[in-house]
């Protein structure tokens, strides 16, 4: 485990809690005291503040990169050199160029690689994706993903020289990949419109951003991210299709509500801002945030010689989309998504597949009226005239 911060802790909790045969055996931190304390707390056999020593440790088979963004490339390339499987937290890299270099390195070496995008592995998301793939929502037209909270835990997040940006690169990466999964990861992202601003925090990066990603098949994916949201962590997704829609609330409203006077110090949930009054605990965060299913997928794929649901290629695509977001935030206009490596469908799909009512009309809408009759609104195929028709007594 490279990294002993919050994400390293969550990863270790997930690994030790689900598949007992998987263990964190060696821990690295830039701070030797933190490495020692982490190893003792989680039962790792050894610890070090030397990255090379950690990666080359003969007792480990897989290296998990849970480090600040600016260290991802260094850690992954060292792991590739050691010939070990590598799993990396989000975002894969500081930008698309760096992500491409990382992707080419792991593929050239032939090492197993997995992109640890936990929020596409939440139980609600996995079930929703299965329903979408089964056609429950029809053709997907629009997605919306929101992540907002009071801001990240560690100092390096707030410094774009170490993080690569602000709220977009921290949380937009989640939202973008969620949208890709619902729309279809083989559908090419074409262009981006993005607004980003520093509204509250005295930092050089954006603390709030909104973005829209247009896909080659006409679908649009919307994201909202903020480091200024008060009241906990808001994680929500919406998906709309021609035959249905769905809404997911992952964290802020958990169905678990508790009132407390605050007479004791206790942990409520990640980024909860208060420990008194009405609070909203999370029953099992590593499950709710997708870590359990994520690592199960990663290690099952590794053992079966398959690709996991999320690979470094996905991380590369997300980095390229975020690059376009940052360009758009500066130019105030739509910016193309530049992908040197595209492995999905090339041809755009014809999205104008109108429902036919009869041989002369398209169906615009049908609805049931309060008196039991049905109303249909139609468009004539040749003249374009819009009309309505009542059916029933």
CATH code for the domain of 31? 3.40.50.720
Domain membership of residue 13 as a residue range: 6-90
Tell me, yes or no, whether 145 and 85 share the same domain: no
Together in a domain, 69 and 203 = no
Domain shared by 323 and 381, yes or no: no
Express each pLDDT in 62-82 by its tens digit.
Answer: 999 999 999 999 999 999 999
Least confident of 202-206, 280-284, 344-348: 280-284
In a domain, 346, yes or no: no
For the stretch 266-280, pLDDT in tens is 665 555 666 677 777
The proportion of the chain whose per-residue pLDDT surpasses 70, expressed as a percent, equals 94
Rounded Cα distance, 102 and 143, in Å: 29
**Span 338-370, pLDDT tens digits:** 999 999 988 666 566 788 999 999 999 999 899
pLDDT given for residue 233 in this prediction: 87
Which candidate, 82, 85, 110, 133, places its Cα nearest to that of 298? 85
Structure tokens given for 12: 């270790």
Residue 347 lies in a domain: no
Q: Check pLDDT > 60 for residue 190.
A: yes
112-116, 159-163, 236-240, 247-251: which has the minimum mean pLDDT?
A: 247-251
Q: Both 128 and 177 in a single domain?
A: yes
Q: At CA 116, angle to CA 64 and CA 46, rounded to 5?
A: 20
pLDDT at residue 201 greater than cutoff 90? yes
Torsion of CA 13, 16, 18, 20, to 10 degrees: 180
Sign of CA dihedral 129, 135, 139, 141: negative
Give 192's contacts (C-beta < 8 A, 6+ positions apart): 211, 212, 213, 214, 321, 324, 325, 327, 328, 334, 335, 336, 337
**Residue 95 placed within a domain:** no
Q: Which of 57, 56, 61 is nearest to 23 (CA)?
A: 61
Tell me the per-residue pLDDT of 29-64, one tens digit each, with 9 for 90 and over: 999 999 999 999 999 999 999 999 999 999 999 999
- Domain-embedded: residue 370: yes
Same domain, 366 and 318: no
The answer to whether residue 228 is domain-embedded is: yes
Residue 73, in any domain of the structure: yes
- The answer to whether residues 196 and 242 belong to one domain is yes
Task: Please tell me the distance from the alpha carbon of residue 128 to that of residue 124, in angstroms, as a whole number.
Answer: 6
**106 domain-assigned:** no
Q: Kindly state whether residues 195 and 282 are assigned to the same domain.
A: yes
pTM value? 0.90
The number of domains in the chain is 3
> Residue 258's CB: how many other CB atoms inside 10 A?
10
How high is the pLDDT of residue 259? 74
């Amino acid at each position: 485990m490279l990294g002993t911060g919050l994400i390293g802790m969550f990863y270790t909790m997930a690994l030790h809690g689900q598949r007992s045969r998987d263990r964190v055996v060696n821990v690295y931190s830039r701070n030797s005291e933190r490495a020692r304390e982490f190893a003792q707390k989680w039962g790792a056999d050894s610890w070090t503040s030397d990255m090379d020593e950690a990666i080359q440790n003969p007792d480990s088979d897989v290296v998990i990169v849970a480090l600040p963004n600016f260290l991802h490339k260094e850690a992954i390339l060292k792991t590739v050199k050691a010939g070990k499987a590598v799993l990396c937290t989000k975002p894969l890299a500081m930008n698309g160029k760096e992500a491409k270099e990382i992707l080419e390195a792991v593929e050239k070496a032939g090492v197993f690689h997995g992109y640890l995008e936990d929020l596409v592995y939440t139980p609600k998301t996995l079930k929703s994706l299965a329903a979408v793939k089964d056609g429950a929502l029809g053709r997907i037209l629009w997605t919306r993903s929101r992540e907002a909270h009071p801001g990240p835990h560690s100092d390096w997040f707030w410094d774009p020289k170490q993080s690569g940006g602000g709220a977009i690169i921290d949380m937009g990466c989640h939202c973008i990949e969620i949208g890709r999964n619902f729309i279809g990861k083989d559908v090419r992202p074409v262009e981006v419109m993005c607004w980003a601003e520093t509204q509250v925090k005295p930092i050089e990066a954006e603390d709030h951003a909104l973005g829209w990603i247009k896909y080659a098949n006409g679908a649009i994916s919307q994201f909202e991210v903020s480091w200024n949201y008060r009241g906990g962590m808001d994680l929500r997704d919406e998906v709309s299709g021609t035959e249905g829609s769905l809404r997911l609330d992952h964290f802020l409203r958990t169905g678990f509500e508790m009132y407390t006077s605050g007479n004791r110090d206790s942990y409520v949930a990640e980024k909860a801002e208060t420990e008194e009054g009405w609070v909203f605990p999370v029953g099992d965060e590593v499950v709710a945030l997708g870590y359990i299913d994520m690592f199960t997928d990663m290690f099952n794929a590794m053992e079966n010689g398959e690709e996991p649901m999320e690979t470094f290629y996905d991380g590369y695509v997300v980095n390229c989309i975020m690059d376009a977001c940052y360009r758009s935030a500066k130019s105030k206009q739509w910016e193309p998504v530049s992908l040197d490596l595209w492995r999905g469908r090339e041809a755009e799909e014809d999205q104008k597949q109108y429902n036919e009512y009869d041989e002369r009309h398209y169906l615009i809408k049908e609805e049931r009226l309060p008196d039991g009759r049905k109303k249909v609104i139609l468009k004539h195929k040749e003249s374009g005239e819009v009309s309505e028709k009542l059916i029933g007594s």
